[in-house]
Structures are given as structure tokens and as C-alpha cells.
Amino acid sequence: MTIIGMPESMFIVFALTVIGGSLGAIHYTVVHVLLGKPFADEED
């Protein structure tokens, strides 16, 4: 089976790369934007 012209296993590597690069953005959105947690410097 192919997804956008490439085998499923290759598509998974592409997907993992995008998810891997987006972990910071996901964490930032959930923790700091949605839950409103302040940053360490907000608590020569």
C-alpha cells in the first residue's frame, strides 16, 4: 500500500520526523497557552 506515492513504512518516517520536530510546539501550546503555566523567569 502506498501513501502519497511512497510505501507506508517510508510515510511513517516522514510523519515521525514532523511529529518529532513539533513536540516543542505541542508542549508549548498545551502547557503555556491552554493551561497558562508561567515561565521560570516570570515566577551584569
What is the contact surface with another protein in residues (CB under 8 A)?
2, 4-7, 9-10, 12-14, 16-18, 20-25, 27-28, 32, 39-42
Cα–Cα distance for residue pair 6/25, rounded to 1 Å: 27
Closer to another protein by CB, 35 or 39: give it: 39
| Minimum distance from residue 29 beta carbon to another protein (Å) | 8
Task: Let me know: does 4 contact 11? Beta carbons within 8 Å.
Answer: yes
- Cell numbers 516522514 correspond to what residue? 14
| Minimum distance from residue 34 beta carbon to another protein (Å) | 14
